[in-house]
Structure 1
């Protein structure tokens, strides 16, 4: 049986693949794996933000005990809390879809430069919106806590407090998402890619 070397002409040696080719392939594979883990972490944060904000919205929307009791619609700050949490829940749901798309397709829904700035800008804007709403809700809740409203309907005030607390939790996870989105922006500006090892 002829050996592989016998298939070559006298004096020739088998061609060797340059070692840098293996290194490039290895680094490329590692970068893809790290990018996937990074995107998965963002997905977890966005999912947590969605869950907390949706739950906050539900708690506030169902905070009514009848015509003779206080209603969340009667208080502007509570309406603000509900609206902000509902908006962030919808935004987080859309971002969850974009993250799942990116994880499985390996590419962004929008052009990369648009996507990184879209995520970062909207994360910042909605985080401030959510924080402002919850701060307003907290101020009202403290005022109501020493008023006859909470003495007559303690359950209403407790449910409002829970809704606001859930909103703060949603803000924390949206803030974490914003930090990671900011990291992607910096990587894109410096390296020309949304992530680099």
Structure 2
């Protein structure tokens, strides 16, 4: 009579086959993951709204040929471009978040999706911060000059656009923190969320 083969921790082959499959999630874990993805969706939606508002305010910031125009200032063009890019990115990421909430799986393979989200959140957050910082510098410079005296509405609309851009950066920064948490969980546990 052959002795049974014992594998890990003294378990017989029949006992090891009864083990749970990898990445098994309890109902509580699935609910936590859904709440986590919903929180990311809320932050992405807020970033989308603020960056869209910033883009619209900057794009419509012209009063005619005799008044200043956002196209006349390179920093304001940068503000518009950065906010428009982050608006499109946030819109795409909202779709990805909705997919994850509904299906429980990622659009791309999990490893690629985790690093894609983290890397792009970082890149676009820094781009948005630098654009709005450059816009703030020009706005403060124009404050003491004839440009704001001749067209006060131009300067006020520029301030609003930059303020919305900074708010968009704030919410994109929250997304960076959450996507960073997902990367850490993936490195430690092999899954994009802490499974308990």
Q: Deviations over 1:136-182 (max 9, x none)?
A: 00000000000000011000000000000000000000000000000
Distance 1:27 1:36 in 2: 12
Of 99, 102, 114 in structure 1, the residue corresponding to residue 100 of structure 2 is: 102
Distance 1:70 1:151 in 2: 11
Q: Over the residues paired in the alignment, what is the CA RMSD in angstroms?
A: 1.2
- 1:51 aligned onto 2:35: no
Of 61, 74, 93 in structure 2, the residue corresponding to residue 63 of structure 1 is: 61
Calculate the TM-score normalised by the size of structure 1: 0.86
Moved over 6 A (4+): none
Q: What is aligned with 2:138? A: 140
Calculate the TM-score normalised by the size of structure 2: 0.87
Of 174, 177, 181 in structure 1, the residue corresponding to residue 175 of structure 2 is: 177
Q: What is aligned with 2:81? A: 83
Q: What is aligned with 2:6? A: none
The alpha-carbon deviation at position 27 of structure 1 amounts to: 6.1
Q: What is aligned with 1:154? A: 152
The alpha-carbon deviation at position 71 of structure 1 amounts to: 0.2
Count residues with an aligned counterpart.
173
Distance 1:187 1:164 in 2: 35
Structure possessing the higher radius of gyration over alpha carbons: 1
Distance 1:27 1:144 in 2: 57
- 1:34 aligned onto 2:32: yes
Unaligned runs of 5+ in 1: 1-20
